[in-house]
């Protein structure tokens, strides 16, 4: 590394007409005259939180390991996380009393989803007077998101524009997001990759302006080439390699979005046109959105991301993995071995998509380690056993976080330990001090 008199600011951007591209952490951003690993650690002191929600619960023996501690056997749903055994913690025994049924009757899918990160039962209404609780991701974003262009990012793989009542008198808004900034302010989740990309890196402009840029096939990178050339002259060899790899990833994501948009324009399917930029394939869509999440962390566009694999009650079928029946239907397994097996295939497939993202996080350098070292990821679902439809013994797995958590274990807490204790603990792990969240009773001190 070449020591220069002045370091680049951590918030360094490449700028062009209608484009702003943040850069990952580079050696050149470490304060000048600060040497060695201590300097890189100082420059890399970024803490991030990522959340991934999967719907409709699971068959718990296929998720939770039989033994606790280290050396546990990976269950069918967790199998794709085997390469990350030493970087993960499986958590069981936690429950979310805030979502339990009291006098509301039906609507359990809505309640477990809304309460997942807030611990608060949503108000039963079909109107505009929706109300829930502030979610963990938004509590974190209010503090660790202050130094980034976006306080937080919310992503989804569902693009149905459903309005009105979705389940037993509950507004559909509750199923569209689990991220709540205030008790009356849900954070919309975006499913269109193009919209996410432009929010992260470009000035969206009008629909005509966006279409003109697409037709000209000009990328964010093309718009910022002059700024990039000036920057490269200031960087050392290691930084130039890192920037080239990062920009290559940005280019790849953008080209995939453009291909998806072209596909959407020419699709012969006799149904309503899909939103521009959303691939026809669920698999392609999921991987593209996970890559956008990766870029958001890598460029420090945001340090908090909430991702929804699918909404509750989703009836999507998965014929490409051998499940032609709808997810919600097979989740009501009633101990039918065939339905349990089909549900396990869906759960394992969702986890494999998450595992692919984890692998890329681990492969991406960040400061004195990787993005995975500096990010705590929580994957889970709002109900435990899918047939019982109760928010008890919730499936949850933590990955990453470096030394922030004691990894490589399965921890089983006493049944009905508040799930919000985990949320409170995650906040403390990233430096957000809170005494209580909803019904939490304390920190999980052994994490």
Q: Are strands 180-182 and 153-156 parallel, antiparallel or unpaired?
A: unpaired
Residue 289: inside a domain, yes or no?
Answer: no
Please choose, from the candidates 27, 46, 8, 32, the residue with its C-alpha nearest in 3D space to the C-alpha of residue 227: 8
Q: Are strands 48-53 and 304-308 parallel, antiparallel or unpaired?
A: parallel
Stated as kind and residue range, the H or E segment containing 415 is strand 409-418
Helices 282-298 & 193-201 angle (0-180, nearest 10): 10
Q: Are 410 and 267 contained in the same domain? A: no
Q: Are 310 and 442 contained in the same domain? A: yes
Q: Are 130 and 214 contained in the same domain? A: no
* pTM metric for this prediction: 0.79
Q: Are 184 and 219 contained in the same domain? A: no
Q: Are 67 and 178 contained in the same domain? A: yes
Q: Are 179 and 101 contained in the same domain? A: yes
**Half-sphere CA count of 371, side-chain side, radius 13 A:** 26
Residue 287: inside a domain, yes or no?
Answer: no
Residue 72: inside a domain, yes or no?
Answer: yes
- What gap in Å lies between CA 124 and CA 104, rounded to an integer? 7
Q: Are 329 and 181 contained in the same domain? A: yes
Say if CB 7 and CB 25 are below 8 A apart: no
Residue 176: inside a domain, yes or no?
Answer: yes
The whole-number pLDDT of residue 39 equals: 35
Q: Are 186 and 170 contained in the same domain? A: yes
**Half-sphere CA count of 422, side-chain side, radius 13 A:** 32
Phi/psi of residue 96, nearest 5 degrees: -120, 85
Residue 296: inside a domain, yes or no?
Answer: no
* CATH number of the CATH domain containing 78: 3.40.720
The whole-number pLDDT of residue 220 equals: 53
Q: Are 2 and 128 contained in the same domain? A: no
- Residue where a domain terminates, one of 213, 242, 277: 277
The whole-number pLDDT of residue 266 equals: 47
Q: Are 92 and 176 contained in the same domain? A: yes
What is the 3-state secondary structure of 218-286? CCHHHHCHHHHHHHHCCCCHHHHHHHHHHHHHHHHHHHHHHHHHHHHHHCCCCCCCCCCCCCCCHHHHH
Sign of the CA dihedral running 138, 141, 146, 152: negative
Number of structural domains found in the chain: 2
Sequential DSSP letters for 170-195:
EETHHHH-S-EEETTEE-PPB--HHH
Residue 291: inside a domain, yes or no?
Answer: no
Residue 286: inside a domain, yes or no?
Answer: no
Q: Are 329 and 441 contained in the same domain? A: yes
- What gap in Å lies between CA 423 and CA 140, rounded to an integer? 10
Q: Are 91 and 181 contained in the same domain? A: yes
Token digits for 288?
A: 């593209």
Q: For the chain, give the longest Cα–Cα distance.
A: 69
Phi/psi of residue 326, nearest 5 degrees: -70, 150
- Residue where a domain terminates, one of 237, 259, 277: 277
- Summarised one tens digit per residue, pLDDT across range 66-100 is 999 999 999 999 999 999 999 999 999 999 988 88
Residue 158 domain boundaries: 48-191+304-447
Residue 299: inside a domain, yes or no?
Answer: no
Residue ranges for the chain with pLDDT beneath 50: 1-6, 13-19, 32-45, 204-205, 207, 214, 216-217, 263-264, 266-276
The whole-number pLDDT of residue 46 equals: 60
The whole-number pLDDT of residue 301 equals: 87
The whole-number pLDDT of residue 70 equals: 96
């Amino acid at each position: 590394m070449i020591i220069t008199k002045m370091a680049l600011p951590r918030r360094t951007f490449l700028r062009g007409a209608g484009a702003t591209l943040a850069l990952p952490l580079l050696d050149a951003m470490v304060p000048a005259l600060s040497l060695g690993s201590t300097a890189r650690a100082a420059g890399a002191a970024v803490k991030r939180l990522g959340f991934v929600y999967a719907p409709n619960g699971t068959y718990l023996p296929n998720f939770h390991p039989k033994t606790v501690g280290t050396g546990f056997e990976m269950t069918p749903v967790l199998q794709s996380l085997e390469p990350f055994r030493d970087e993960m913690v499986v958590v069981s025994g936690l429950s979310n009393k805030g979502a339990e049924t009291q006098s509301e009757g039906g609507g359990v899918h809505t309640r477990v989803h809304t309460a997942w990160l807030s611990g608060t039962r949503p108000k039963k209404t079909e109107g505009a007077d929706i109300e829930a609780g502030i979610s963990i991701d938004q509590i974190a974003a209010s503090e660790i998101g202050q130094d980034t262009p976006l306080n937080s990012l919310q992503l989804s793989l569902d693009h149905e524009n459903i309005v009105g009542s979705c389940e037993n008198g509950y507004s559909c808004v509750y199923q569209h997001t689990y991220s709540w900034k205030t008790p009356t302010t849900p954070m919309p989740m975006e499913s269109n990759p193009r919209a996410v990309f432009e929010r992260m890196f470009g000035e969206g402009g009008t629909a005509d302006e966006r279409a003109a840029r697409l037709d000209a096939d000009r990328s964010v990178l093309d718009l910022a080439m002059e700024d990039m050339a000036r920057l490269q002259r200031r960087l050392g060899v290691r930084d130039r390699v890192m920037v080239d790899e990062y920009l290559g990833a940005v280019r790849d994501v953008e080209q995939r979005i453009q291909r998806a948009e072209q596909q959407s324009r020419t699709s012969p399917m006799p149904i309503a046109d899909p939103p521009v930029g959303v691939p026809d394939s669920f698999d392609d869509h999921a991987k593209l959105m996970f890559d956008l999440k990766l870029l958001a962390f890598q460029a420090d566009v945001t340090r908090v991301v909430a991702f929804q694999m699918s909404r509750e009650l989703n009836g999507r079928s998965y014929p490409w993995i051998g499940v032609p029946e709808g997810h919600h239907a097979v989740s009501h397994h009633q101990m039918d071995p065939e339905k349990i097996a089909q549900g396990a295939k869906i759960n394992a497939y969702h986890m494999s998509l998450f595992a692919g993202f984890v692998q890329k996080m681990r492969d991406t350098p960040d400061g004195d380690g990787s993005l995975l070292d500096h990010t705590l990821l929580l994957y889970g679902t709002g109900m435990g056993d899918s047939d019982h439809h109760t928010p008890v013994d919730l499936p949850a797995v933590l990955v990453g976080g470096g030394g922030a958590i004691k990894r490589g274990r399965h921890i089983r807490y006493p049944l009905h330990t508040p799930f919000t204790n985990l949320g409170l603990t995650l906040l403390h792990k990233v430096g957000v001090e809170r005494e209580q969240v909803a019904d939490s009773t304390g920190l999980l001190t052994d994490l």
